[in-house]
């Protein structure tokens, strides 16, 4: 079975961007804190990533895929090769649903980090996904990187990479 396992989640271009700096992790809002300005790019990226995780977690592929550029690429440890476009991934998801009974029951994100590189942002996090298939229910723990590009003031996902989380694997 070739089930991707989770939303979000994409390791990319880190080697290309390793020489760049300017990273930031968005701290949680303190109780009673003033609202964060809409111009905070880290918060904007977090909001874009949260929308992806939420749509994936409620098994809403229409909304989920709309948050990715049509030319976005996807690398999953559960598929034999790179998915070269959003349409390729949509076809793979439909195949999983039809052949395997793939259904996402829930998805949560932890250990989030945003790194900003001008109009590119790298979002990394740990992902816990609850799935159902014809084989039964399962919970998958993975690490994910999503690369975003800022276009016309909006962050859109252009690449996703997903890998197993070795810290949750038992020997």
Task: Dump pLDDT digits (tens) for 67-91.
Answer: 999 999 999 999 999 999 999 999 9
pLDDT given at position 13: 29
pLDDT given at position 118: 96
- 164: number of CA atoms within 13 Å, CB side? 10
pLDDT given at position 137: 98
Locate the domains of the chain by residue range. Answer: 40-168
The single-letter DSSP state of residue 167 is G
Instruction: Report the C-alpha gap between 7 and 56 in whole angstroms.
Output: 6
SS3 116: strand
CATH of domain 40-168: 3.10.450.50
- Quickly count: other Cβ atoms within 10 Å of residue 160's Cβ: 27
SS3 100: helix
pLDDT given at position 168: 79
pLDDT given at position 6: 32
pLDDT given at position 67: 98
**Ranges under pLDDT 50 in the chain:** 1-34, 36-37
- Among 115, 107, 76, which Cα is nearest to 92's? 76
pLDDT given at position 107: 98
């Amino acid at each position: 079975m070739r089930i991707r396992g989770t939303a979000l989640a994409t390791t990319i271009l880190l080697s290309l961007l390793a020489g760049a700096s300017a990273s930031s992790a968005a701290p949680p809002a303190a109780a009673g804190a003033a609202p964060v300005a809409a111009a905070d790019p880290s918060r904007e990226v977090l909001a874009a990533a949260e929308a992806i995780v939420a749509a994936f977690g409620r098994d809403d592929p229409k909304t989920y895929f709309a948050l990715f550029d049509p030319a976005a690429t996807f690398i999953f440890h559960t598929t034999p090769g790179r998915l070269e476009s959003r349409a390729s991934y949509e076809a793979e998801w439909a195949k999983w649903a039809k052949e395997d009974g793939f259904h996402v029951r829930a998805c949560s994100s932890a250990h989030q980090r945003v790194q900003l590189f001008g109009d590119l942002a790298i979002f990394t996090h740990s992902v816990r996904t609850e799935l159902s298939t014809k084989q039964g229910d399962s919970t998958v723990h993975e690490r994910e990187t999503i690369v975003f590009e800022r276009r016309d003031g909006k962050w859109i996902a252009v690449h996703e990479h997903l890998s197993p989380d070795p810290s949750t694997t038992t020997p």
